[in-house]
Amino acid sequence: KAVNAKLRAHYPESQELFKVILIDDNRSDELNNAIREHKIAAAVMKTPGEMAEVSESELRIAFDGDAVLFSNESERVYASEGLEAFYRNEREKVNDPMKEGPFKGFLQVLVKLQRKLHDKKLLDKKCPIRTYLVTSRGGGSPGFRALNTLRYWGLEIDEALFLAGAPKGPMLEKIRPHIFFDDQMFHVEGAAEMGTVACHVPYGIAQRVPKKGIKDKEISSAPK
């Protein structure tokens, strides 16, 4: 309500306001239905026992890539055909944008808000909103395809971090986002262990074919 009040004050003609629906329900099947049938970005929040200290002047929001910002099409290739097929697919389609995932719309809203703040010259030094892509994809074709997809959508992300399969928790501990979205519980729990509020996005092939250990890392590692 507070954010909407500020938006109305600066943009009385705008209809682009935040609308949040909170469902107090832990049933992942209902969240899946919300994403699939109504295109609602939904997630289950995991709050750490001891929260890391976060910025009070800059809102930091971190997103995973596949099955969060992007669709799960690349994960499907890996699950059905294996790692080499995944690499080949990313090389061949490096310039082909991926389809949108459930949280692409949320990033889009954040980017619009950033642009409005810049246009109105409401910023003293830097934008109070900062976005991050924190993905297990590595460099090379997998990383370039992610960036090319964002460019195709006309969306800027403030910082893109390609971890090549490394755990995300330590990096999240460094950037200290206020919230992080990921489709794999492995990364959600790792983030929570580092004091980051993390949300599980129940979308994509990872919900039906759990990936653990090296396989979880292999899908997004950079080609050698």
CA distances from 94 to 148, 177, 191 (A): 8, 29, 29
pLDDT for the residue numbered 146: 96
DSSP 134: E
Q: Is residue 149 assigned to a domain?
A: yes
Q: What is the pLDDT of residues 140-153, one digit of tens each?
A: 999 999 999 999 99
79-108 mean pLDDT: 93
Hey, which residues does 200 pair with through a beta bridge?
A: 44, 182
Beta bridge partners of 182: 200
- At residue 207, the pLDDT reads 60
Ranges 86-100, 105-119, 162-176: which has the least confidence: 105-119
In a domain, 12, yes or no: no
**Predicted pLDDT at 114:** 87
**CB atoms < 10 A from the CB of 136, how many?**
25
Q: Does any domain span residue 172? A: yes
Q: Give 154 or 27, the one with higher predicted confidence.
A: 154
Provide the mean pLDDT of the chain: 79
What is the total count of domains within the chain?
1
Is residue 11 a part of any domain in this protein?
A: no
Which residues span the domain enclosing 197? 43-218
Residue 28 lies in a domain: no
Bridge partners of 199?
Answer: 45, 181
Least confident of 17-26, 41-50, 132-141, 171-180: 17-26
In a domain, 50, yes or no: yes
The single residue of 24, 29, 64, 183 carrying the catalytic annotation is 64
Strands 44-46 and 198-200: antiparallel
Active site residue 64: yes
Residue 7 pLDDT > 50? yes
Residue-wise pLDDT tens digits, 96-129: 999 999 899 999 989 988 888 777 665 556 788 8
The predicted model gives 35-58 an average pLDDT of 73
* Percent residues over pLDDT 90 in the chain: 39
| Residue 213, domain member (yes or no) | yes
In the sheet with 129-135, reading across from the earlier edge strand, the strands are 44-46, 198-200, 179-182, 59-63, 129-135, 159-162
CA 165 to each of CA 68, 140, 213, 216: distance values in angstroms, whole numbers, following the listed order: 17, 13, 10, 8
* In the block, residue with structure tokens 């209809």: 15
pLDDT band at 34 (very low <50, low <70, confident <90, very high): low
Q: What is the CATH number of the domain that holds 89?
A: 3.40.50.1000
Strands 59-63 and 129-135: parallel
pLDDT of residue 209: 46
The answer to whether residue 131 is domain-embedded is yes
